[in-house]
Amino acid sequence: MSFLAHIVTCNTYRAENFRPLRLGATRIGWVRHDNAALLQLFPAVFAVSERDVALIAGGGFDALSTAVDGVIEALVAEGRIDKWRHEDFAVAPRWGQPPLFKLDRGAVGFFGIRSYGVHLNGIRRDADALKLWVGRRAGDKKVAPNKLDNMVAGGIGYGHGLVETLIKEAGEEAALPPALTAHAVPVGALTYRMANTAGMREDVLFVFDLDIPADFTPRNTDGEIAEFHLMPVRDIVARVRDSDDFKFNVNLVIIDFALRNGLITPDEPDYLAIVTGLRQPFD
Amino acid sequence: MSFLAHIVTCNTYRAENFRPLRLGATRIGWVRHDNAALLQLFPAVFAVSERDVALIAGGGFDALSTAVDGVIEALVAEGRIDKWRHEDFAVAPRWGQPPLFKLDRGAVGFFGIRSYGVHLNGIRRDADALKLWVGRRAGDKKVAPNKLDNMVAGGIGYGHGLVETLIKEAGEEAALPPALTAHAVPVGALTYRMANTAGMREDVLFVFDLDIPADFTPRNTDGEIAEFHLMPVRDIVARVRDSDDFKFNVNLVIIDFALRNGLITPDEPDYLAIVTGLRQPFD
């Protein structure tokens, strides 16, 4: 492994294997060619051409959401979409704009809808070393079971704000009180496009840093994190470099933390590829 | 102005106006088409085709450097390159690799050679506010006279290391003692490709943060900075957003500092375009 290998792992999307999903003139997703072929079975909802897939169901937010839900139901029944996650994500032209419709999280990959998440670095500035609280994901998680994770992380669901999501997830995953989480500092965002079995993951990770008091020990309340460990950042960075112990996209968050804190330095041969690779431009 | 406008200003390079400059199989620069036409006058050094420009002078580091110097001399004489800067920059396949040859800084833009610089955020964590030391460039600077600048900034010349350059520039520009500059923390790099009158500027800025003690006041020793001001970061960030008072690429360094410190937040409508725009991938 290497720092750069983790970035490569998260950026396996190749344009030639996908075609744009459009609503009117707006591109809203990326559909893998074999998935596009499946959508030809739903001509009242999607118009599929060699060039693109158009969502033509018509109507506003509710009508579009219902129409797409119907297609998802059929695709789940046929095993082409893994399962309902019973959690809605918003589909918008871009970050901060009103959503056009919503769809189940389980279908985000099939349609290549951009998703947004929050990741929190829980920092301890102890006298002996700079440390981070690291969680180990539960064994029954659908994505990346047993992998190491940030202290807090989660997707931003439809209708939920960014800071609201951070505070909610921090409470559920680590029992962080809202008054403490409110001091988290937004320190940037990471982006990647990853081809996966479902289709692709076009993901934005909003990163926050939070100093955790020495007398606070995280405690999971929702069953998603099996255990927490307080680890020196130098050990974490070495483990990211040398292993796949961390969840695929959490490696990016740790690498970014290391870069911002001088723990990966310009004498690293891949430095520029790492720095530029963490934030792939979207169109 | 806006944050994003500064990023757009620094990324005006368009591939269709340039052709690659190659040494063997390695691309080492980008030559604007009209500049490529001029290089046809030096067939012993450059082979110019519609597709690219090849440096064919042959020989090793010294022979290549001498051959290119001869062309620069002629181009300066004809006014096609502004002037000799009497400071050499290295030409290498990529960062950290041994240089293939060196050329005068004044010719870097004509040939579209990637250049590397160091920028230092001089930080004061006063009780009332987070502040930065800001320099005003001298009125006789060739590039961006009278503009506001980082506390320390400079290009990395041939044969000089990155930290060595930072320490040297910090001493010359701000009278920072080496023992203090040695505590500067590398916090990432910014990249941009800017079309300019000479040709283009493919630039890497290595960014450092340094806490400046309250009893230290910077003092310029080389005539490049006219005066220093200690300014609250909030005021600096607003001034970057609303004006062109800062040197074009220093805006990027300030925007990056603001992002890393939660002073530009995800509720900024252009947040993702800003975050991804600061580090354009090179090929």
Q: Using one digit for the tens of pLDDT, what is the confidence trace for A186-223? A: 999 999 999 999 999 999 999 999 999 999 999 999 99
Which residues does A240 contact at the CB level (< 8 Å), separation at least 6? A3, A6, A246, A251, A254, A255, A258
Please give the share of chain A, as a percent, with pLDDT higher than 90.
95
Q: Where are the alpha helices (DSSP H) in B105-247?
A: 108-111, 162-174, 178-181, 233-242
Which residue on chain A is closest to B162 by alpha carbon? A266
* Greatest pairwise CA separation for chain A in angstroms: 64
Is there a contact between A276 and B276 if contact means CB atoms under 8 Å apart? no
Residue A259: which of B187, B269, B281 has the nearest Cβ? B187
Q: Give contacts of B261 with chain A, Cβ < 8 Å.
A: 185, 187
Q: What is the pTM of this model?
A: 0.96
What pLDDT, on a 0 to 100 scale, did the predictor assign at position B64? 98
Q: Which of B21, B79, B58 is nearest to B202 (CA)?
A: B21
CA distance B175 to chain A (A): 24
Tally the residues of chain A: 283
Q: What is the DSSP string of A91-103?
A: E-SSTTSPPSEEE
Q: What is the mean pLDDT of residues A72-86?
A: 93
Is there a contact between B96 and A267 if contact means CB atoms under 8 Å apart? yes
Residue A276: which of B260, B266, B282 has the nearest Cβ? B282
Q: Bridge partners of B155? A: B117
Are B117 and B205 contacting, i.e. CB atoms less than 8 angstroms apart? yes
Residues A33-78 have pLDDT tens digits of 999 999 999 999 999 999 999 999 999 999 999 999 999 999 999 9
Residue A260: which of B188, B276, B278 has the nearest Cβ? B188
What pLDDT, on a 0 to 100 scale, did the predictor assign at position B113? 97
Which residues does B145 contact at the CB level (< 8 Å), separation at least 6? B137, B138, B139
Q: What is the mean pLDDT of residues A246-256?
A: 98
What pLDDT, on a 0 to 100 scale, did the predictor assign at position B1? 82
How far apart, in Å, are the Cα atoms of B68 and each of A180, B54, B111? 60, 12, 10
A204 touches chain B (CB under 8 A): yes
Burial class (CB in 10 A: 0-12, 13-18, 19+), A8: exposed
Residue B185: which of A261, A277, A279 has the nearest Cβ? A261
Residue B280: which of A266, A271, A276 has the nearest Cβ? A276
Q: Which of the residues A205, A276, A278, A283 would you substitute to probe the B interface, choosing the one with the greatest number of B C-beta atoms within 10 Å? A: A276
Q: Which residues of chain B have pLDDT under 50?
A: none
What pLDDT, on a 0 to 100 scale, did the predictor assign at position A249? 98
Are B122 and B152 contacting, i.e. CB atoms less than 8 angstroms apart? yes
Distance in angstroms (rounded) separating the CA atoms of residues A143 and A250: 12
How far apart, in Å, are the Cα atoms of A264 and each of A187, A226, B59, B131, B188? 17, 29, 36, 26, 9
Are A114 and A32 contacting, i.e. CB atoms less than 8 angstroms apart? no
What pLDDT, on a 0 to 100 scale, did the predictor assign at position B271? 96
Is there a contact between B279 and A278 if contact means CB atoms under 8 Å apart? yes
Distance in angstroms (rounded) separating the CA atoms of residues A216 and A25: 50
DSSP β-ladder status, B53-55 and B18-23: parallel
Average pLDDT, chain A: 96
Q: Give contacts of A187 with chain B, Cβ < 8 Å.
A: 259-262
Q: Bridge partners of A89? A: A103
Q: Give contacts of A204 with chain B, Cβ < 8 Å.
A: 272
Q: Give contacts of A92 with chain B, Cβ < 8 Å.
A: none
User: Collapsing DSSP states into helix, strand and coil, what is residue B174?
Assistant: helix
B11 touches chain A (CB under 8 A): no
- pLDDT of A283 higher than 80: no
Are B265 and A260 contacting, i.e. CB atoms less than 8 angstroms apart? no
A18 touches chain B (CB under 8 A): no
Are B10 and B191 contacting, i.e. CB atoms less than 8 angstroms apart? no
Q: Bridge partners of A31? A: A19
Q: Give contacts of A162 with chain B, Cβ < 8 Å.
A: 266-267
What six digits make up the tokens of B199? 């040709």
* A and B: number of Cβ contacts within 8 A: 81
Are A193 and A103 contacting, i.e. CB atoms less than 8 angstroms apart? no
* Residue-wise burial string across B188-218, b where 16 or more C-beta atoms lie within 10 A, e elsewhere: bbbbbbbbeebbbbbbbbbbbbbebeeeeeb
Q: Give contacts of B188 with chain A, Cβ < 8 Å.
A: 259-260, 275
Residues A115-133 have pLDDT tens digits of 999 999 999 999 999 999 9
Which residues does A146 contact at the CB level (< 8 Å), separation at least 6? A136, A137, A138, A139, A226
A1 pLDDT band, cuts 50/70/90, is confident
How wide is the angle at C-alpha A196 spanned by C-alphas A24 and A68, nearest 5°? 35
What pLDDT, on a 0 to 100 scale, did the predictor assign at position A84? 87
CA distance B143 to chain A (A): 25
Q: Which of the residues B279, B280, B282 would you substitute to probe the A interface, choosing the one with the greatest number of A C-beta atoms within 10 Å? A: B279
